[in-house]
Structure 1
Amino acid sequence: MDDLESELRVPGELGENESSDDESINRKRIKKPNLPLAPPIFKEKPCETGFHKTTRNCLQHIREALLHHRWQKAAEYMSSYSQTLEDTTANMPQLYAEIIWRIGTEILHHHPDSKLEDYNSFYERVKHSGVKHYLKVCLEHSFHLLVNGQFEDAKRQLSIAESWRYGKQSADQSQRIKLIQAYSGFLDYIIWCEKKATVSSTDEYDAGVNQEMHSYFRQSSVNLKEIMKLPGVWDPFVLSYIDMLEFYNDHEGAVKVLNDYAYDNNLPPNPNAHVYLYRYMKKHDHPSKKLLKVLKILHTLVPSLELMLEYCSLLLQSDKEGDLQKALGVVLDLLDYASWRSNLDVWNHLMTIIKRLRLRKQWLKLVEEEMANRKDWWLAMHFTTFQARRDLAVNRELLEVKRFVVGAFCPRYASMYCGVGKETRKGVTSEAQKTKRSKKAEKDKESKTAKKAQKRTRKAKSRLTLRKLLERRRAHRQEQKCFKDA
């Protein structure tokens, strides 16, 4: 890749009609691109052995094979490059081990002939080559086993990693151990789910299976509780723990866990935590006051969420005076996003809010407060002539609702929006009348042709009857003549 010209054209191979002058002109036109290539990891040193030079060139060949997706060639070079782990003169053994680990897993993931045994042997070799990366490699190995359905082997790898210690324990090492314990608890939850499925499939009560389930629940809950104390987003661990608590009817404990996960200041802001809390409380019929409290915070985090429609409906069911204005703000926040622009449910909520606000005094003042930051662009966003034609073509009910809304907010703007709707409706009705007329003309033509055909058939029948009568008369005359002669 040093010379792009050599990649595009092989020197010495010219076409039949090409000359060396043309080739020199084409070479001048071709410019070498200034690509931001990554610097080499190992640079050439003035005093290096032949082994180090060979390994450096081997790594360069591995990089080129990976860039061109030549996985078989990369694997062959990697088998030779792994000899760097046996080099005792190298001053960077951990870096060599990490390079082999990263590149080796990439090759195994993309190689078409890779098997689970190859992964296991590779991970075992890499784990014992670099002490600093032991816990990371164990965790990645357990992930691969988990994806392939080897739950017991993944559990065994995590248990080995939990009990592993080397030297003085650092802060990073303790955090990795807690993460490994959390995934161990997650695997306990998966095994607990399998036991629960077997218990639910059989009607007979088995005390041994239930006791085994409870032991897996205790092991999993201990590990999952510890990971929730650390700052981070732990959605799958929280959901698995809540599922187990709900199975054992510990609803208070589940609500406490969800509250801590949503409102703990040590954890980063996570809208999913509030969503999980709201859905659990709604599932178990918590009062609307608590549900409104959860949705209020969720509205500040993600105002375009689909749950805001439920928030608006709960505010409309409330008896407080200020909740109606809050519902107006929630609906307007939804309509600020393009994904909700043509949603009929949102516009219906806005229409009901306007109808209720009209019953109050100075309702226009409340509307102006909510529309203060939107008056420059909101009407132009939702009530254009193009939008009116589109609403009429897609959903006429939406057009009627928006016509009512714009008439309440801004009557001057309504004339333009409604006029476009009437014009388009006139065009639609005129086209419909034209189609009706054409259909009627076609029917008239068909009836005329049918009448003509009936007349033709009648004439043909009358001619046949006349011929039969004439033939009968001739036959009768001949009979009479024969009788006289006789």
Structure 2
Amino acid sequence: MDELDRHLEQNVLMMSQNDDDSSDTSSRRGGKQLKLPLVKPMCVETRRESGFHRSSRTCLELIREAMLHHRWQEAAEYMTSYPQILEDKTNNMLQQYKELVWRIGTEILHHHPKSTMEDYNIIYECMKHSGVKRYLMICLEHSFHLMLHGHFEDAKQHLSAAESWRYGKESAAQLQRTKLIQAYRSLLDYRIWSDKKFSHSNNNCFDSDNQGMHNYFRQASVNLKEILRNPGVWDPFILSYVEMLEFYDDWEEALKVLNDYAFDNSFPPNPNAYLYLFQHLKRHGAPQKKLIKVLKNLYVLVPSHELMLEYSSLLLQSEKKSNIQKALGIVLEMLDFACWRSNVDVWKYLQAIIHKLQTEDNWESIVSDKMASRKDWWPALHFTSFHACKDSEENPELLEVKASLIKILCPDRTLRYGVEPMTNGE
């Protein structure tokens, strides 16, 4: 709908350009020009507008009005006439018209109660051959629609055809889109491989079936491996490739792929990259030192991640005293986020950390340093009478844990949490 509005605005500007000179002349004759902002009309009829353009503009307005009010049958009826705009050779907006027909057509089909897969195929094939500039992106979107409806083999055929498509001198944009198509085609190879793996595990398969399954692995792995040469966020592709590598017991290659995905500085920061690497390392019994290194990087990106509990637990298990202080900071930072403030496990971790910290002589100063930036707002976040009432009703165990930490975390504050303050007479 935004695309439609932008296009209508472009039409308004283009059609009103011819009247600009006469408008300027008349405003000069009238003396001072008005400074009041004027509302730009959605449709402007000009003296030089042809009948063809006038009818096309009116048709587009009617389509827009029908779509805004979800009258999809009416929009579809008008849409049967609007593609005639593609025959217009009098201006340089043909590419915009093509994309508009493509976008509006698929949007109407998506909402029309009687649309069929054949209707989608017709409009996609029509738009593919209406011009070469958007051919690859239309092919990719077409395959997405087929995948969404479970037609994986058809989607793969469309992507395979697009993968081998070339036009003129290959541009950088065309090369990038081709790589994207290759990646999604490989993802479909993985999907077929995964289905065969499932049937293989439930049935007694012959060697020929295993060979066919391995062929899909080889086809998928070529382009999935190639993805790591192109910086980006490739989560589903990486996971698919790693799953296949692990199935064939290629643990070293799987680990290399995940390490590169997480620690290659040319890739954008991605919390999931560290999550996948951590899960892989943990599955294969990696030492604590490696697990801590991965979670340290995840902590920098997402300090509220649920794995921070495991990170603090690993730090507590280590022998370094400094790690206990790190664990304290991690759990306190988790409790800075509202999503964790009623989680009893996090508060128990905090209690355990402080209990272990109390074996050191300067533990009070350590806690005080960590709480220095929080002392003005933490009580209002965690230790009010409202919190006490709520915790008492919903989770008495949480109330007990929090109450035991008040004097340690906020020693210079008298807080109405857990117990009512004593009166002077008492």
Which of the five TM-score ranges fits, normalised by the shorter chain? Answer: 0.7 to 0.9
**1:118 matched to which residue of 2?**
119
- Describe how 1:398-409 pairs up with structure 2 within 5 A: 398-409=398-409
C-alpha deviation, 1:197, in angstroms: 1.4
**What SS does the corresponding residue of 2:332 show, helix, strand or coil?**
helix
What's the counterpart of residue 396 of structure 2? 396
Shift of 1:84: 2.5
What is the one-letter code of the residue matched to 1:107? I
Q: Structure 1, residues 55-79: CA drift from partner, whole Å, max 9, x if none?
A: 2221222111111211112111111
Letter in 1 for 2:318: S
User: 1:83 — aligned with what?
Assistant: 84
Which residue pairs with 2:145 in the alignment? 144
Contact 2:66/2:74 (<8 A) preserved = yes
Q: Does 1:176 align with 2:177?
A: yes
Q: Where in structure 2 are the equivalents of 1:31-430 lying within 5 Å?
A: 44=45, 46-204=47-205, 206-411=206-411, 413=413, 416-420=416-420
Specify whether residues 79 and 416 from structure 1 end up closer, same or farther in structure 2 by C-alpha distance, changes over 3 A only: closer
CA 421–37 in structure 1, closer or farther in 2 if over 3 Å, else same: farther
In 2: Cα distance, 1:67 partner to 1:168 partner: 42
Q: Is the 8 A contact 2:193 2:216 kept in 1?
A: yes
**Fraction of identical pairs, as percent:** 60
Task: Tell me, in whole angstroms, the C-alpha distance in 2 between the residues paired with 1:36 and 1:228.
Answer: 50
Task: Tell me the amino acid that sits aligned with residue 158 of structure 1.
Answer: L
SS in 2 for 1:420: coil
| Amino acid corresponding to residue 59 of structure 1 in structure 2 | L
Residue-by-residue CA offset, 1:74-101 (whole Å, 9 max, x unaligned): 1111111112233444543222211110
- 8 Å contact from structure 2 (residues 327, 353) kept in 1: yes
1:371 to partner: Cα distance: 1.4
Distance in 2, matches of 1:212 and 1:259, equals 30
The amino acid across from 2:212 in the alignment is E
Q: What is the Cα deviation at residue 393 of structure 1?
A: 2.2
Aligned counterparts of 1:222 and 1:374: Cα–Cα separation in 2: 52
Stretch moving more, 318-327 or 384-393: 384-393
Structure with the greater alpha carbon radius of gyration: 1
Contact 2:368 / 2:409 at 8 angstroms: preserved in 1?
no
2:250 maps to a residue whose letter is D
RMSD of aligned alpha carbons:
2.2
Deviation at 1:327, TM superposition (A): 0.8
**Amino acid aligned to 1:218:** R
Give distance in 1, aligned partners of 2:50 and 2:41.
Answer: 25
State the AA in 2 paired with 1:252: E
1:123: how far off?
0.9
- Cα distance change on mapping 1:363 and 1:88 into 2, 3 Å: closer
Counterpart AA for 2:109: L
1:211-242 deviation line (CA, Å, top 9, x unaligned): 11111111111111223322221111111111
Contact 1:304 1:337 in 2 (8 A): yes
How many Å separate the matches in 2 of 1:410 and 1:103? 60
Question: 1:13 aligns to what?
Answer: none
State the Cα distance separating 1:418 from its structure 2 match: 4.5
Q: In 1, distance between residues paired with 2:65 and 2:100?
A: 15
Question: Alpha-carbon deviation of 1:397?
Answer: 2.0
CA contact (8 A) 1:389 1:420 kept: no
Q: Please tell me the residue identity of whatever aligns with 2:275.
A: V
Counterparts of 1:38 and 1:143, CA distance in 2: 37
Relative to structure 1, the CA distance from residue 37 to residue 109 in structure 2 (aligned partners, 3 Å threshold; closer, same or farther) is farther
Secondary structure, counterpart of 2:420 in structure 1: helix
Residue 220 to residue 275, structure 1, CA distance change in 2 (3 Å): same
Q: Whose RCO is larger (CA < 8 A, sep 6+)?
A: 2
- After superposition, the Cα gap between the structure-2 partners of 1:125 and 1:409, relative to the gap in structure 1 and judged at 3 Å, is closer
Question: CA 1:35/1:330 → structure 2, altered by over 3 Å: closer, same or farther?
Answer: farther
Alpha-carbon distance change, 335 to 96 in structure 1, aligned in 2, over 3 angstroms = same
Scaled by the length of structure 2, what TM-score is found? 0.86
Report how far residue 415 of structure 1 moved.
7.2
- CA deviations on 1:368-415 (whole Å, 9 max, x unpaired) are 221121122223422222222222222222222122211333455467
Report the count of equivalent residues.
387
Structure 1 unaligned blocks of 5 or more: 1-33, 424-486
Deviates further, 84-93 or 174-183: 84-93
Distance 1:91 1:380, change over 3 A: closer
